Amino acid sequence: MITHNLGFPRIGVKRELKRAIESYWKSELTEEELRSKTKDLRKQNWQLQKENGIDLVPVGDFSLYDQMLDMTTTLGAVPKRFGSKGETVEINTYFDMARGKGSAGAMEMTKWFDTNYHYIVPEFESNQTFKLSSEKIFEEVKEAIDEGYQAKPVLVGPLTYLFLGKETEEGFNRFEHLNQILKVYEEILTRLKDSCEWIQLDEPILVLDLGKKVKEYFKEAYEKLTKAAGQMKILLATYFGELGSNEDLALSLPVKGLHLDLVRAPEQLDSVLKNIDSDKILSLGVVNGRNIWKTNLATSISTVKKATEEIGKERIMIAPSCSLLHVPVDLDEETALNPEIKNWMAFAKQKCKELQIIRDSVLGGDTSVELKANENALKSRKESPLVTNKSVQEKLQNISKEMLTRKSPFPERIKKQNENLKLPLLPTTTIGSFPQTKEIRKVRSEFKKGKIVEEDYKDSMKSFIKEVVDKQEELSLDVLVHGEPERNDMVEYFGEQLSGYCFTKNGWVQSYGTRCVKPPVLFGDVIRPESMTVNWIKYAQSLTDKPMKGMLTGPVTILCWSFVRDDQPRSVTCKQIALALREEVKDLEEAGIKITQVDEPAIREGLPLRKKDWKDYLQWAIDCFRLTTSGVKDETQIHTHMCYSEFNDIIEWIAKMDADVISIEASRSKMELLKAFQDFRYPNEIGPGVYDIHSPRIPSKEEIKDLIKKAIEVIPLKNLWVNPDCGLKTRNWEEVIPSLRNMVEAARELRKAVNQL
Ligand code: GLN
Ligand code: ZN
C-alpha cells in the first residue's frame, strides 16, 4: 500500500521560483542559471516529499509557468504568431506564449476548474501539426531517478488537454486533432516505459458533465495509450469532484489504476469498490489538497481500511485528493501564527506526513502518538472559544425571510432614490479604487511595520482621499468614491477587521505564472467588532456635496478568496460574513451615505462544476448578498459590481440579487453581454463598463460614445449608468484622468442630444 502524491507546490518555500523567473525576465539571470535554480527546487521538493513519507514522487508537476502550457510546448502546439521554429520550443517562446510579445498577444488564461489557479488555454486550428517538441518530462524523470527517487511522471491527459482548449478558427472542431495528439503521447509513453513503473495522466474533466462524443474519445484514446505504455502502468487521476455519470466510463478504461477525490466526493467510494475490475489499483485521495486544515486521520483511516477489506491492501494507494499545488508549502515557516490555531493546520509538507501516518496505521504500525496528537488538535479546534461564538450562532438562527427582502419593490424604491439623489440622465461613476501609487503603498507598509503612528497614517490616507475627491469633482463625475487607498486587497482588508480571520506570513499559493496569492484564513465564527469603512467614507463625503459611494466587498467574494472552514458548510460561513457586512451597510446609511456598493466579482467562479449543483449554490449565494444589502431604507441605493465573466447563464439569479444598480465589465466584448440583459429584460439599473481598465490605452470620447449608444439600443435609457469596467487601482493617473475626462464628456454630449429630442 504505497503513498504517492499527485503534485507538489512548485513555487518553493520562499517563492524562490518567482524570484528566479522574474530575474530571468529582467536578464539578471541567464537561462543556464535559471535552469540550475529550478533543478535545485525540484530536488528540494522531492526530498521534502520523501522525508515526509511519500513513496512515489510526482515528476513533471514542476513548471516554469503552467502545466497546460507545458503540454502545449511538449506537443509543439505553439500558435503561429509566436514564430517558433526548430525541433524544440525555446524557453523564450514558452514565456512569450504566456505573456505575449509585441503584436503577438498572450494566449488566453483562465481558471483551472473551480480553483484560483489559472492555466494557459491551448489554441487549435485546422492545419496544425503536432510533434514531440520538448524534452522536459524525460529530463526531469532522469533527474529524479539519478537522485534515487522512484519517479512517477505526471502529465495532463490528452482529453483534458483538448477539452480545456479552444478553436481559433470557426467551424473547426479541436477533437479532430485527437489522433495526432495521441501519437505524441504514445511516443512519450514508449520512451518512458522502461524507466518508470507508473505514469499519472490527469483527467479531471471526468468530474464534469461530458457529452457522448467525448466519452467515446476517452475509450479510443486510452486503448491506444495503454498499448503504448507496455509494462508501465497508467494511473488515471480524477479530482475536484465525483465521477458520477462518468463512473462507468472511468472504470471501463483499460488503465491499471484510478485515483478518486474522496474529500470532495466520499460517497463515490462504495460503488467504485463494488464495480472496479479485480486487476486494478485504486488510489484513494483522503487528504484535502485544496485547504489548509489538518485531516481527520481517524476518518481517513477508516475509509482506507474499508477499501482494503473489500479489495485487499495490495490494490490500494494513498494520496491527497488532488495536487498539493493549491496549498502553501510548509506550515513550519509560520512562526507568528497563534500556536493554538496553527496546531489545526497542515500545509503541503504536513499533508505528506499525514498520508504516511494513515498508511502506517492501516498496516498496523504504531502510530498512537501521532493519532493522539491529531485527535487532540481536532478536539481543540472543535472546542476552542476562538472558533465558536454563541451570539453569532444565535443571530444565524434568527435570520428571517424579511431580512432578505428590501422594504419595497424596485419601482417604488427607485422613485425615492431619484428624489434623494437628484442625478442626471446617464449618471457617471467609477467602480471604487483609484491608482494605488507608490506613495500610498509606502505609507501603508510603513504603518504595518510600525514605522509610523496611527495618527500620521490616518492623516496621509485622508490626504489621498481628498486628492481623489478633488480630482473627481474636477472631472465632474456624478457619483464619487473615496478611492480605496487604505486597502491592500479587497478581501484581506475586511478579513483583517473581522474576528474569525487570521493571516499567514508565508502561505503563498500560485495563482498564475509567477503571481502568487496569500489567501487569508477564516477559522472561526465571524464578528465585526466595529465598523470597518464608515470613517473613511464619512470623511470622503464631508468633502463634497455629491453622493459618495460606500464601498464593500460582498460575502461570496470574501468566501471564495479565502481559505475557509471545513467544519461547517460554505453556505453557513457565507451567511456569517453577510451578517457582519449587513451591519456595515446599515452603519454607512446611518452615517448619511446614500449609496453603497457591494462588490461580488467572484460570484460566478463559486459555481459548482456540475450543473445539477448550481441551483443550490446560487440560492444561498444570492441570499447572502440580499442578507447583506436588504437592511436599508428604500431611499438608500444599493449597487453591486461584477467582472471577468459571462453572466448569460445566470442572469436570472443576478436579477434576484435585487441590487438597484449593477455595474459590469462589458467593453472588451463590445457590449455583447448586454444582449442577455435585454432578452431577459433585466428590471433594475445597469452600468455596462465603457472603458477597458485592463489596458493602458486611453479610450477616445467617440469610442466611448459608440459603446454607450450600443447600450442605449438594448437598455432603457433611464436605467443606464456610465462607468469603467472595473476599479482603477492598477492604472496610473496619466491614463486615468484623460480616460475619465473622455468618459464624462461622452456621457454629457449624449445626455444633451437626448434632452434636445
Ligand atoms: N471596488 C473594487 C475596485 O474598484 C472592485 C474590484 C473588482 O471588481 N475586482 O478595485
Ligand atoms: Zn471588477
The pLDDT tens digits of the residues spanning 256-287 come to 999 999 999 999 999 999 999 999 999 999 99
What pLDDT is recorded for position 480?
98
What separation in Å is there between the alpha carbon of 385 and the centre of ligand 1? 34
pLDDT-derived band at 132 (thresholds 50, 70, 90) equals very high
Is pLDDT at 668 greater than 80 in this prediction? no
What is the mean pLDDT of the segment spanning 493-504? Answer: 97
Going through 467-534 in order, the beta strands assigned E by DSSP cover 499-502, 509-512, 515-517, 521-527
Q: What is the pTM of this model?
A: 0.94
**H or E segment and range at residue 287:** strand 281-287
What separation in Å is there between the alpha carbon of 308 and the centre of ligand 2? 49
What pLDDT is recorded for position 677?
87
Q: In whole angstroms, what is the distance from residue 522 CA to residue 500 CA?
A: 6
Atom 6, ligand 1: which residue's CA is nearest? 727
What is the mean pLDDT of the segment spanning 487-513? Answer: 96
To the nearest 10°, the Cα dihedral for 10, 12, 13, 18?
-110
Atom 9, ligand 1: which residue's CA is nearest? 601
693 lines ligand 1 (CB under 6 A): no
The domain segmentation of the chain, as residue ranges, is: 2-382, 410-661
What is the mean pLDDT of the segment spanning 428-445? Answer: 97
What is the mean pLDDT of the segment spanning 401-422? Answer: 98
Q: Which of 484, 581, 643, 726 should be mutated for ligand 1, with most atoms under 8 A from CB?
A: 726
Give me Rg for the CA atoms of the chain.
Answer: 27
Q: In whole angstroms, what is the distance from residue 691 CA to residue 40 CA?
A: 45
Q: Which ligand is nearest to the CA of 687?
A: 2
Is pLDDT at 100 greater than 80 in this prediction? yes
What separation in Å is there between the alpha carbon of 669 and the centre of ligand 1? 19
Q: Which ligand is nearest to the CA of 645?
A: 2
603 lines ligand 1 (CB under 6 A): no
- Clarify whether 694 is annotated catalytic: yes
CB neighbourhood size of 279 (10 A)? 7
Using one digit for the tens of pLDDT, what is the confidence trace for 350-386? 999 999 999 999 999 999 999 999 999 999 999 999 9
Atom of ligand 1 nearest to the CA of 641: 8
560 lines ligand 1 (CB under 6 A): no
What separation in Å is there between the alpha carbon of 553 and the centre of ligand 2? 11
What pLDDT is recorded for position 573?
98
Atom of ligand 1 nearest to the CA of 643: 8
What separation in Å is there between the alpha carbon of 431 and the centre of ligand 1? 6
Q: Which ligand is nearest to the CA of 693?
A: 2
Atom of ligand 1 nearest to the CA of 727: 4
DSSP for residue 582: H
Q: Which ligand is nearest to the CA of 553?
A: 1
What pLDDT is recorded for position 708?
96
What separation in Å is there between the alpha carbon of 726 and the centre of ligand 1? 6
**H or E segment and range at residue 38:** helix 31-51
Strand pairing report for 316-320 and 281-287: parallel
Atom 4, ligand 1: which residue's CA is nearest? 727
Give me the chain's average pLDDT, please: 96
Q: In whole angstroms, what is the distance from residue 454 CA to residue 695 CA?
A: 35
490 lines ligand 1 (CB under 6 A): yes
Is pLDDT at 491 greater than 90 in this prediction? yes
Q: Which phi-psi region, left, alpha or beta, contains residue 364 (left: φ > 0; alpha: ψ -120 to 50)?
A: left
- What does 186-206 look like in DSSP terms, one character per residue? HHHHHHHTTT-SEEEEE-GGG
580 lines ligand 1 (CB under 6 A): no
What is the mean pLDDT of the segment spanning 56-62? Answer: 98
Q: Which of 116, 433, 434 should be mutated for ligand 1, with most atoms under 8 A from CB?
A: 433
Q: Which residues are CB-contacts of 283 (< 8 A; sequence separation ≥ 6)? A: 4, 235, 237, 257, 258, 259, 260, 316, 317, 318, 319
* Domain at 410-661, CATH class: alpha beta
Using one digit for the tens of pLDDT, what is the confidence trace for 725-744? 999 999 999 999 999 999 99
Do the first three CATH levels of 2-382 and 410-661 match, i.e. the same topology? yes
551 lines ligand 1 (CB under 6 A): yes
643 lines ligand 1 (CB under 6 A): yes
* Domain at 2-382, CATH class: alpha beta
What pLDDT is recorded for position 695?
86
pLDDT-derived band at 701 (thresholds 50, 70, 90) equals very high
552 lines ligand 1 (CB under 6 A): no
Going through 426-508 in order, the beta strands assigned E by DSSP cover 499-502
- Higher local confidence (pLDDT), 136 or 102: 136
What pLDDT is recorded for position 84?
87
Atom of ligand 1 nearest to the CA of 726: 8
Q: In whole angstroms, what is the distance from residue 631 CA to residue 247 CA?
A: 46
729 lines ligand 1 (CB under 6 A): yes
Q: Which residues are CB-contacts of 220 (< 8 A; sequence separation ≥ 6)? A: 178
Residue given cell 457582519 in the structure block: 580
What pLDDT is recorded for position 645?
67
Neighbours of ion ligand 2 (CB under 5 A): 601, 643, 726
What pLDDT is recorded for position 620?
98
**H or E segment and range at residue 109:** strand 109-111
- What does 93-148 look like in DSSP terms, one character per residue? HHHHHHH-BTTBPPPPEEE-TTSS-EEEPPEE-TT--------HHHHHHHHHHHTT
432 lines ligand 1 (CB under 6 A): yes
Angle at 243 between CA 282 and CA 617, to 5 degrees: 135
Using one digit for the tens of pLDDT, what is the confidence trace for 140-173? 999 999 999 999 999 999 999 999 999 999 999 9
What pLDDT is recorded for position 670?
82
Q: Which ligand is nearest to the CA of 664?
A: 2
What separation in Å is there between the alpha carbon of 648 and the centre of ligand 2? 17
Q: In whole angstroms, what is the distance from residue 182 CA to residue 636 CA?
A: 59
431 lines ligand 1 (CB under 6 A): yes
What is the mean pLDDT of the segment spanning 523-549? Answer: 98
Q: Which of 486, 491, 599, 645 should be mutated for ligand 1, with most atoms under 8 A from CB?
A: 599
What is the mean pLDDT of the segment spanning 613-617? Answer: 97
